[in-house]
């Protein structure tokens, strides 16, 4: 017997489900968020980075001039609601891994679209006593750190207070489709939105999406002599947590989808860290999570082509911190105002009946 009616049933309260839930609530919609409380969910163990220039080929992040300003605006709005800081602009120093990468940067650094992300003055040389940088580097502006766990916890508290959160396991097989929505247990919803992270690979309704999950491992370390003012990167990221404490990551494994750190992965990170920095460090802890990614490295948003009461928001990969607010707003506008979804993100791009 149906006892509760809601506009949207949201499955998963990672970074995607969290922002979407906050936006839908702000629109006055009734929602119920279902999450299993997994402490090793990718959103819980990520580095919390926003980085405008990414990858070995030093590419600008996708639609960086729209995505990053929107994310900053959204996080600041959340700070006003939550009454504490979660967004911290912080320059990133990118040290080149080899001569080839250094030459590549020489080809890109004077392009107009890159100039706005190059810090002036360049202060990366001040880190030379602490790190090994035989191929030089660049200090990048427009980067930031986000306290993701603080965001997740604060929004979860608001959901609980509103009676809009349920911590339990969920199986898509328990859904019954109706002509105007879905029924799950005693709840009727006009639509169910799957924000399941890498577990979306097992969703029978969206089995046609080419997910390509990536396991990532990280370590927390103490480095007493390393300044904590900047984010550092050379093959691995060194993300300040506090004075003397840093998170270092991450590995990239397209296998072993178990959310437990491996000895090989942790040793790989420590080896890279020893090669990167000149100072001793002390291992404090290890983490592992599985990032939801797709074959084309773009998120997937939108309604199922045959069952519009089934919606997906997934595939954020390693860009969840920066991409999720922008994508959540796009999906909200699509669901409530029938605004189009960017073709590069639309779930229909993978549909082949």
What does the pLDDT read at residue 353?
A: 64
Judge if 281 and 160 occupy the same domain.
Answer: no
For residues 303-320, give the mean pLDDT: 96
Separation of alpha carbons 17 and 32, rounded Å: 11
Q: What is the 3-state secondary structure of the chain? A: CCCEEEEEEEECCCHHHHHHHHHHHHCCCCEEEEECCCCCCHHHHCCCEECCEECCCCEECCCHHHHHHHHHHHHHHHHHHHCCCCEEECCEEEECCCHHHHHHHHHHCCCHHHHCCECCCCCHHHHCCCECCCCCEEEECCCEEECHHHHHHHHHHHHHHCCCEEECCCCHHHEEEECCEEEECCEEEEEEEECCHHHHHHCHHHCCCCECCEEEEEEEEECCCCCCCCEEECCCEEEEEECCEEEEECCCECCCCCCCCCHHHHHHHHHHHHHHECCCCEEEEEEEEEECCECCCCCEEEECCCCCCEEEEECCHHHHHHHHHHHHHHHHHHHHHCCCCCCCCEHHHHCCC
Residue 257: is its pLDDT beyond 90? Answer: no
Q: Is residue 69 part of a domain?
A: no
Structural domain of residue 226, as residue ranges? Answer: 92-141+214-291
Judge if 110 and 238 occupy the same domain.
Answer: yes
What does the pLDDT read at residue 330?
A: 98
What does the pLDDT read at residue 258?
A: 85
CATH of residue 198's domain is 3.50.50.60
CB-based burial of residue 269 (10 Å sphere; 0-12 exposed, 13-18 middle, 19+ buried)?
buried
CATH of residue 118's domain is 3.30.9.10
**Single pTM value for the model:** 0.95
Judge if 195 and 218 occupy the same domain.
Answer: no
For residues 271-281, give the mean pLDDT: 96
Judge if 34 and 97 occupy the same domain.
Answer: no
For residues 187-196, give the mean pLDDT: 97
pLDDT band for 188, please (50, 70, 90 cuts): very high
Alpha carbon of 22 to those of 174, 192, 202: distances in Å? 25, 16, 26
Residue 7: is its pLDDT beyond 60? Answer: yes
Judge if 186 and 314 occupy the same domain.
Answer: yes
pLDDT per position as a tens digit, 73-129: 999 999 998 888 999 999 999 999 999 999 999 999 999 999 999 999 999 999 999
Q: What are the beta bridge partners of residue 312? A: 194, 302
Domain boundary among the residues 244, 261, 291 is at 291
How many residues are recorded in the chain? 353
Judge if 235 and 264 occupy the same domain.
Answer: yes
């Amino acid at each position: 017997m149906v006892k509760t009616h809601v506009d949207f049933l949201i499955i998963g309260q990672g970074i995607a489900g969290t922002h979407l839930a906050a936006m839908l609530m702000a629109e006055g919609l009734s929602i119920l968020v279902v999450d299993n409380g997994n402490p090793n969910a990718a959103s819980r163990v990520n580095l919390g980075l926003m980085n405008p220039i990414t990858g070995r080929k030093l590419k600008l992040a996708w639609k960086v001039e729209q995505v990053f300003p929107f994310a900053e605006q959204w996080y600041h709005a959340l700070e006003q609601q939550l009454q504490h800081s979660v967004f911290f602009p912080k320059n990133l120093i990118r040290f080149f891994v080899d001569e080839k990468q250094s030459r590549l940067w020489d080809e890109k650094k004077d392009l107009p679209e890159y100039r706005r992300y190059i810090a002036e003055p360049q202060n990366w040389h001040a880190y030379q006593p602490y790190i090994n940088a035989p191929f030089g580097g660049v200090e990048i502006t427009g980067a930031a750190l986000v306290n993701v766990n603080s965001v997740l916890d604060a929004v979860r508290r608001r959901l609980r207070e509103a009676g809009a959160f349920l911590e339990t396991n969920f199986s898509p097989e328990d859904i019954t489709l109706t002509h105007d929505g879905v029924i799950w247990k005693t709840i009727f919803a006009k639509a169910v939105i799957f924000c399941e992270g890498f577990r979306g690979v097992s969703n029978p309704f969206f089995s046609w999406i080419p997910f390509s999950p990536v396991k990532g491992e990280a370590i927390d370390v103490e480095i007493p002599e390393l300044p904590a003012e900047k984010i550092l990167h050379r093959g691995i990221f060194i993300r300040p947590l506090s004075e003397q404490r840093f998170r270092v990551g991450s590995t990239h494994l397209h296998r072993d989808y178990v959310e437990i750190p491996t000895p090989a992965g942790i040793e790989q990170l420590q080896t890279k860290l020893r090669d990167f920095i000149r100072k001793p460090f002390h291992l404090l802890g290890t983490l592992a999570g599985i990032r939801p990614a797709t074959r084309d490295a773009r998120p997937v948003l939108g309604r199922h082509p045959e069952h519009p009461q089934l919606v997906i928001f997934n595939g954020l990969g390693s860009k969840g911190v920066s991409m999720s607010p922008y994508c959540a707003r796009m999906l909200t506008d699509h669901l409530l105002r029938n605004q189009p979804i960017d073709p590069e993100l639309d779930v229909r791009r993978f549909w082949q009946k």
